[in-house]
Structure 1
Amino acid sequence: MYKDDRILKKVDAFTTVYFVDPLAVRLVYILSKYNRISPNFITTVSLFLGVSSAISFGIGKDIFGALFYYLSFLFDCVDGKLARITGKTSLVGAFYDTLADWTVAYGIYLGIAYNSLNYEPKITYAMLLFVISKLVYIRIVHYKDKIHRSVNHKTKKDKNIDIPTFGRAKLIPDAIDWDFLIIIFPVIVKVRELRLFILIVGAIFYVLLSCANAYIIMTSLKASDNR
């Protein structure tokens, strides 16, 4: 494994560290030799593969869906690394990357939910529950960051949730890990119904995490009011 602070994050998702980075980093070094290949082009490739994955899941071609998703995930990990190592980072590129990520993730969720109506409607409802709980969590975290920025000068120390790690890998699953579990894992083990269980556990996970972050917000606000 190549080691370069411009490429590897100090802490990253478990799935990224062990299932994608070993290949992505090598691909970055190869692509960095070609000046005509821009990070935004790689993002476009990732987006195209992600949309192909969503369509594949929507028509019941789960193996192709999982394969396209992994390749999309791989190139999604490459674009940012390539931008940093070549010095081609930009706000437009960062926004495009985020927009592509959301399009791919929720497009695949929609594809899985649509196809599941044909054989297991419970998965569709569980997917809806998971997506809602995830969006609520994202909103709460965004608000928490906003609160911390506004009251940081009044408090001695920011409070946050300490995330245990193993090397660079987070031991608590984040959005990337849940996507991998929901999209790829059931295909690998050839048990579609496993997706229902993972979705329910994921929804509960995000609800608990939302509650924990809401508690952090409340304690931060109380600390600010008492100063």
Structure 2
Amino acid sequence: MSTAEPLTGQSVLVVGTGGIAVATARAAAGQGADVVLAGRDRARTRAAAEATGARAETLDLSDDASVAGLAARLGRVDHVVNLAAAPANGPVRDLDRAGLVRAFDAKVFGPTLLAGALDITTSLTLFSGFIAWRPAAGRVAMATANGAVTFLAQALAVELAPVRVNAISPGVVDSGSWDGLGEGKEEFLRATAGRNPARRTGTPDDLARAVLHVLTNPFLTATTLHVDGGGRFA
């Protein structure tokens, strides 16, 4: 007997426009899902949607009216995957309230309000990150917001049951988020791969496969799935 539920004919809302979001939208569409890709930047969201066969929607998780508007337009949705992020990095003495609120709006506050506004029938998947389990100097806000995602997933799993709520915690993934390192990017990825027990860094497709597993396993809820190559132990 199969333990997986096919996505054929089901709706999937993917929030985010980065490399992992695009790979997730493409993978879900490839499994027969009706995919909506949502993001703050209209042009970027439209381009990402066109590349994946998804429908584009505008959503700002820090704006209550934007959340309510999307919920009104979509109504019922089978699966929601939130990959939004607004990192507030830097030494703790340099952090400000606005940056902290943006970080938590993307990872915690916004997804909570979205969960309350949408009629979700099957699953909600949130994204955490390995930095919550392996804190580093200058990453206090990121580590704390990502850690909060795990507890949010557990709480929402109880609140929204039988809707399944889980979190995925990626490690270092070459998804475009490290491109700002310029010429130092390749050396950073090589050094990270050398420390990871998996001896490699992640790809967007690695994470997309994990999302599909979380979306289609009917006995998985209130869980954080670590897809980090063992990086939290490196």
TM-score by length of structure 1 reads 0.31
Which structure dedicates a bigger proportion of its chain to strand?
2
Comparing both chains, which one has the higher relative contact order based on Cα–Cα distances under 8 Å and sequence gaps of 6 or more? 1
TM-score by length of structure 2 reads 0.31
Tell me which structure has the larger Cα radius of gyration.
1
Which structure dedicates a bigger proportion of its chain to helix?
1
